[in-house]
Copies of this chain bind each other. A is one copy, B any other.
Amino acid sequence: MSELHEVAGGLQPFFRSRWVPPPAHVRELEVDAGLPAGFRAAGVAAGIKHSGNPDVGLLVCESEGPASAARFTASGTAAAPVLLSLERCRLGALRAVLANSGCANAATGARGLEDAAKTQGAAALAAGVEPSEVALASTGSISHHLPVEAVIKGILEARARLSRDGDGDFQRAIETTDAFEKRASLEVQLTSGPVRLSAQCKGAGMISPRFATMLCFVETDAQLAAETADLLLGVCVKRSFERASVDGQLSTNDTAILMCSGASGVSIAPESEDELRFGEALDALLRQLAIMVVADGEGAGRIARVIVRGGRAQSVEAVARAVANSPLVKAALHGGDPNWGRIVQSAGAALPGTAPLAVDVAIDGIPVCAGGAAIRYDEAALAQAVQGAEVEYEVGLPGDGAETEVFFSDLSHEYVTVNAEYTT
């Protein structure tokens, strides 16, 4: 890790959280190492954003037999690009992704779907593929119509710029209020040879994904069956983006897509050692990205993991979400305040009618509450622990056998500022 870090010129390593130890067979490449073989990308400024920043991204997989998988938001008010991708795309054999920022194309009704379809058609022409092979992803303000002309102009420009090194521009074209880049380039050593794995991801606000993330695109030159890609993406999204929350707000546009070009010639068979290795690498990649999304929660200064153990899966999930989404817990995290009473309060609120609930709480390994009651602890050590960049809360409920975790950010003044002034 530290060696790679120095090679990369003093930048932080990608695997920077204590909660994601990189698997032994995974090597970090420089972030600008370029896309895996078989992929080209570009990002351009098409004028959707008033700032003039990049806002249209095109990602193309040049492969005869591509495999892919996708996950989308569960929102009842899912955006037009999500609905269209779900209804019209061959999600197991995608050859391109058209992404834009600056406009979510959500709450736009039938016209929103028509607009999305027009841009899908234009992207298909540009990439030389069928419209059903182009997935769409949008992010930005909800309720505005997509400026179709601008997007199509952007597609044409992006087409002319497609390159193996275009992932950085593609990344910038999907960002909104992101404060730092969430992008990675990895090499995974399989038994039959090395494969590449890269990802571009955006987050920041309106983050509490279920069945998907904000926007995340993953590319590999490994050869996988669509079923394998779907299985691996599904498992890894569940363990990463679905365990992350900035503000408890499921977005209208969450999308995660894995595309496999097969260009390395290294094939990953189902239930093989290589599937395990690749799965571990994908898992670590998405977990670190999810933590980076949380760490880049609008205005976030400190992040936390809450682990909840107990006898019932439903209860541990409810308590983990309640703790992670409590503005009181998040404000205390922000202030470096060891106010664990709010952890107990959140747990009790999540499980009404269970009083007196025998809840245990530990913070960074220091037990502070047992069986629902305060216990003695080293106050100085606790005060020190909650000043760290990553704070860990463990909550124990009666019984055992069920366990879950949620990564979350603090609640800061910056979050209020960003979100009180976003559209106006």
Residue positions of A touching B, CB distance < 8 A: 74-78, 82-83, 104, 106-112, 141-145, 205-206, 208, 210, 247-252, 325-328, 331-332, 334-342, 344-357, 359, 368-369, 371-374, 383, 411-413, 415-424
A-B contact pairs, 23 of them (CB 8 A): A75-B348, A76-B349, A76-B355, A77-B355, A82-B355, A110-B373, A142-B345, A144-B374, A206-B328, A206-B345, A249-B326, A249-B328, A250-B348, A327-B327, A327-B419, A334-B420, A335-B419, A335-B421, A337-B420, A411-B416, A411-B419, A413-B416, A415-B416
Q: Shortest CB–CB separation between residue A11 and chain B, in angstroms?
A: 31
Are B247 and A422 interface neighbours, CB within 8 A? no
A250 to B344, CA, bound (A): 11
Task: Please tell me if the beta carbons of A344 and B106 are within 8 angstroms of each other in the complex.
Answer: yes
Closest to A327 in B: B247
Q: How far is the CB of A19 from chain B (nearest CB, A)?
A: 24
Q: 10 shortest A-B CB distances, which residue pairs?
A: A109-B373, A142-B341, A77-B348, A335-B420, A331-B419, A76-B354, A250-B349, A74-B352, A75-B348, A143-B341
Cα distance A368–B172 in the bound complex, in angstroms:
32
Nearest CB of chain B from residue A207's CB, rounded to whole Å: 10
Once the chains bind, are A327 and B145 in contact (CB under 8 Å)? no
**By the criterion CB–CB under 8 Å, are B109 and A345 in contact?**
no
Whether the pair A109, B76 counts as a contact (CB closer than 8 A) is: no
Contacts of A346 in B (CB 8 A): 249
In the complex, the chain B residue whose C-beta lies closest to that of A251 is: B345
Whole-angstrom distance between the alpha carbons of A86 and B337 in the complex? 32
Q: Determine the residue in chain B with the shortest Cβ distance to A208.
A: B349
**When the two chains form their complex, are residues A76 and B143 in contact, meaning their CB atoms are under 8 A apart?**
no
Identify A76's interface contact among B145, B337, B348, CB under 8 A. B348
| Closest B residue, CB atoms, query A337 | B424
User: Other than the known A77-B357, A335-B420, what 15 A-B pairs have Cβ atoms closer than 8 Å?
Assistant: A75-B355, A76-B352, A76-B354, A76-B356, A77-B348, A107-B344, A109-B371, A143-B341, A248-B326, A250-B349, A327-B327, A337-B422, A338-B423, A411-B416, A413-B416
Contacts of A108 in B (CB 8 A): 373-374
| Complex Cα spacing A419 to B346, Å | 15
The CA-CA distance from A295 to B342 in the complex, in Å, is: 22
Chain B residues near A143 (CB-CB < 8 A): 340-341, 344, 368-369, 374
Report the bound CA distance from A371 to B111 in whole Å: 12
The residues of B that contact A106 with a CB separation of less than 8 Å are 341, 344-345
> Given A341-B141, A348-B252, A372-B109, are A247 and B76 neighbors across the interface (CB < 8 Å)?
no
- In the bound complex, how far is the Cα of B109 from the Cα of A338, in angstroms? 20
Closest beta carbon of chain B to A94's beta carbon, Å: 21
Q: Which residues of B contact A371 (CB under 8 A)?
A: 109
CA distance A205 to B372 in the complex (A): 22
Q: Is the CB of B78 within 8 A of A328?
A: no
Task: Please report the C-alpha to C-alpha distance between residue A91 and residue B407 in the assembled complex, in whole angstroms.
Answer: 43
Closest Cβ of chain B to A243, distance in Å, is 17
* Inter-subunit contact B415/A339 (CB<8 Å): no
